[in-house]
Chain A
Amino acid sequence: MVSPILLIAIPLFMAFSVPLWGLIWKKLPQYIPFATFSITIAVLVKLLPQLWGRGLISVVIAGVKPPFGINLVFGPFGAFFALIIQIVALAASIYLFEYEPPEPAEKFYMLFILVVLGATGMVLTGDIFNMFVFLEITSISSYALTAIKKDGHSAEAGFKYLLLGSLGSTLFLFGIALIYGSLGTLNMADIGARIGDMNPKLLAAAVILILIGMGVEAEMLPLNGWVPDAYQAAPVPVVSIFSGVVAKAGIYALARILYTIIGFESYASLLLIFGILTLLAGELAALRQKDVRRLLAYSSIGQMGLIMLAFGTVGFTAAIGGIFHAFNHALAKALMFFALGIMVAGVGKWDMDSLEGIGRVKPYTTLLFTIGLLSTLGLPMFSGFWSKLLIIIGMVNAKYTVYASLALFGSAVEVVYFARLLGKFYSSKISDSLKDAIPESKKIFSLLGMTFIAIFILAMGIYPDALVKWIAQGAYMLLNKATYIGMIIGGAIQ
């Protein structure tokens, strides 16, 4: 019997054994992330069919049943986010084959696996304090990875991220303390069942503290000052992990806590308002960026705002759209950052003007970048179209027309800056700085991995039903708090 614990245990073992593998062969650590995430994806593939007909798998750890012990919950919603995380991590670890990491290389690979491990733990845990611990594993490794280049810029970005991140997670712990003080339990299902007994004022304080804590990771508006700097300073594979793994785990935790733990209806408007502010601020700030990394960072903030809006709507269609968009955004942004990393190889400059005409120098990479970009924009025939459509339909159905039109305005702004970017990339004038560009044929493995992502994006654009059918289960479990609680506390499933 394959257990969900393996999804956490295997990366944990592999992460800390990286230096040992290095003793056998100096180049071996480079392939450890790939090996790790291949195994975890195999475990996921083996586990997923078991969800059909069972609803969710709750694994009791150390023999004490919930609500007293710690449990892992492998349900449709969490499993889907675990899948997103593992796919992006696998793609990034293929990119690592041809990537020269900053020294010390072994620690880089170790931290790389630990970030993914923490995020996987966050989406699988059924215990709120456990979620805090996994959050800290993710974020401490992220701080280290941001600052790993050891130059002034990255140290500064790392310090910014550390300050905001650790402040946020301490506030999250404060929120947990308030809940524990009132209800005397840490199990999410148990808290969810008894949240009505809590003093409403204390509950409001706890919700705000938790919202702030998770908002840092989910790139929510007033707390996302670290995002552009960290995206600019961190190495390329790490950036793809930030947008595809860390931010996704943050938004999962927000949705899980707001929907399952807190009777969400009274706080829905909070997520709507922050979502629309995040969306508009991200898209408008992206307009005046010259550095492509900063531009993509602000675009990432905008997309996270859209996902927050989807979860704030509290409706079935919008929830499906939100989960689907999280998936699309993770893949598309990872693809764009990998492509950007290959484009810049040998050029060394990241601003738009130095990359002018790259489409003629590295045509295939630019094509892959364009596929990711068009999916983010939500062009029909790309998977991003369906998720944006579902979110907008869900919002209009729930009578949030103003928010829907503002979200569409944000998408229109996105078209402006992405069109300008593509115009530069495919310009007939070729910039001087491109003359020592390393040819793309040197990066066969990365291009192969990226091609798979691109094919997946196109396939989902043409036939989204395959995925949506499955996401609908996750959305159903997310919206039906009672089912989740009943399955864990009722003890029907072990």
Chain B
Amino acid sequence: MSHTPTYYNSRRQQSFSRNQNTTRFQSAIKLGPVAHTVLVALMITVLGLIYVTQATRTTGYDYQAQKIDSQIAELNQQKSELEVESARLTALEAVKNSTVAREMVKPASTQYVSE
């Protein structure tokens, strides 16, 4: 079976006889209700897949966030340990027992200079 294309003459073509390739295509293929249903189902599936992909990506971020949280906790713990060590090293008892302190002598007397 053959069919004849129907040409569409735009107003511009009518006026200037240009744009000769401008056509209005009318498909001879008709989509029935089954095809429509399948297409809609396919579209829903694609949209669903897109949603699932996005949700999975979000979950991926959750894992990254969890990993970063763990790193922060680990670093905080190391920081705390260093602070404790620093406090121990600068504790009065440690300072008193340091070699520098041991070589110090008590002043015999204290003098104040008045202005």
Is the A/B pair a real complex? no
* Chain A interface (Cβ < 8 Å from any Cβ of B): none
